[in-house]
A and B are shown apart, each in its own frame.
Chain A
Amino acid sequence: MRHAATDLSILEQLFKGDREQIHQWLELYLEQAPDQFAALSEFQKAGNAEALAMIVHDLRPQTHYLGAHRMLELLVALGELVKREGTAPCRVLVDETHALSREIETELRACLNRT
């Protein structure tokens, strides 16, 4: 299943095409991810580089599972930037990940409703 911001072929591989399992995973993602992306902003604003880097680190594997390549690129760039220069210059990238995360959520909800 390929969409604009995601490509669920990795999940298809992991779950051997089991729709129910894929749906459960997506629902779990939709439960957890918004809080994690919200935490990105909070830690960036609070100047907590270590916590920001940790959330970025946590988000990468699940983003990979979603085949969200653009998001993965953003997270890698954000992880490198915060490590190199701290939280201050991360604002633009954090905003961009937020916008993209909302796009991904909308896409996944549509996918869940459709099937």
Chain B
Amino acid sequence: MIRLALADDQVLFRRGLSMLLRDMPDVQVVFECGNGEELLLGLQGNEVDIILLDLQMPVMGGKEAMQRITKEYPSIKVIVLSSHDEEEFIAPMIELGARGYMLKTAEPNEIENAIGSVSENGFYFSEAVNQVVLQGLVSKKKVKPTFPEIDPLSERELEVIRGICQEMTTTEIAGKLFVSPRTVEFHRNNILLKTGARNVAGLVVYALTKGIFTP
């Protein structure tokens, strides 16, 4: 059972989302709240696995709440749900440790997928968000990707990294390659070690800059 908390001050949005979540199998909405302060209070008395967090809220916004959560509740995974699709909003939240960032205009089934993916694989970034972040990282050259010279990736590792770039889940990659999810995780960890990338976003940047994957 995935235990969720939902923090968003927009009543109409929250109500719709809450209904969606309540009908999801294996998901329990532990509590809802309208700002970061209420969220932190709620976390004091409740066990939560994933938080759906809005950015722009009164009293305490999502960014400040995220800083506190990362420090005080490091095991909780946070998915940011926002109307802001600009890099200046997305990148800092990823740097703060958000496991996912989605736009509020995402289709309901995408929100369901995101929760499942964060629970299972630890991360989810929608295609729109990936594009914004990657444009910021690569095209604007704010961060020049540098990777150590490495052992070449095996054919199987290349297939796994391409799957990751296509936002496939571990299970989906496993299904495509006819191997177990555990094997996919093994390959992914090897790729992280070989490339020196710190996380999946780093793997995507690596794949793009090395021409392993073309969107």
A14→B20 contact, CB < 8 A: yes
B23→A16 contact, CB < 8 A: yes
Bound: A11/B16 CA distance, A: 7
Can you name the residue of chain A whose Cβ is closest to the Cβ of B13? A61
Q: Count contacts on A: residues with CB < 8 A to the other chain.
A: 21
Bound: A103/B133 CA distance, A: 37
A15→B105 contact, CB < 8 A: no
Q: Interface segment, A24-32, A88-96, A107-115?
A: A24-32
Closest CB-CB distance, A108 to chain B, in whole Å?
Answer: 13
**CB-contact partner of A32 in B11, B20, B107, B108, under 8 A:** B11
Q: Give the contacts of B92-148 with A (CB-CB under 8 A).
A: 104-105, 107-109
Give 1 or 0 for each of A27-46: 1 = CB within 8 Å of chain B CB.
01100100000000000000
Give 1 or 0 for each of A1-16: 1 = CB within 8 Å of chain B CB.
0000000001101111
B12→A14 contact, CB < 8 A: no
Bound: A6/B10 CA distance, A: 20
Q: Is the interface of B mostly helix, strand, loop or mixed?
A: helix
A72→B13 contact, CB < 8 A: no
**A98 close to B (CB within 8 Å):** no
**A99 close to B (CB within 8 Å):** no
B15→A57 contact, CB < 8 A: no
Can you name the residue of chain B whose Cβ is closest to the Cβ of A62? B12
A14→B83 contact, CB < 8 A: no
Central interface residue in A10, A13, A14, A18, by most chain B CB within 10 Å = A14
B12→A64 contact, CB < 8 A: no
A60→B105 contact, CB < 8 A: yes
B12→A57 contact, CB < 8 A: no
Give 1 or 0 for each of B1-23: 1 = CB within 8 Å of chain A CB.
00000000011110111011001
Bound: A3/B11 CA distance, A: 24
Can you name the residue of chain A whose Cβ is closest to the Cβ of B9? A58
B83→A60 contact, CB < 8 A: yes
Closest CB-CB distance, B20 to chain A, in whole Å?
Answer: 5
Q: Assuming A11-B16, A25-B16, A57-B84, what are 20 further A-B pairs, CB within 8 angstroms?
A: A10-B107, A13-B109, A14-B19, A14-B20, A16-B19, A25-B12, A28-B11, A28-B12, A28-B15, A32-B11, A54-B56, A57-B56, A58-B83, A60-B104, A61-B10, A61-B13, A61-B104, A62-B10, A64-B104, A65-B13
Q: List 18 A-B contacts (CB under 8 A).
A: A13-B107, A13-B108, A14-B16, A14-B17, A18-B19, A25-B15, A28-B15, A32-B11, A32-B12, A57-B56, A57-B83, A58-B83, A60-B83, A60-B105, A61-B12, A61-B104, A65-B13, A72-B105
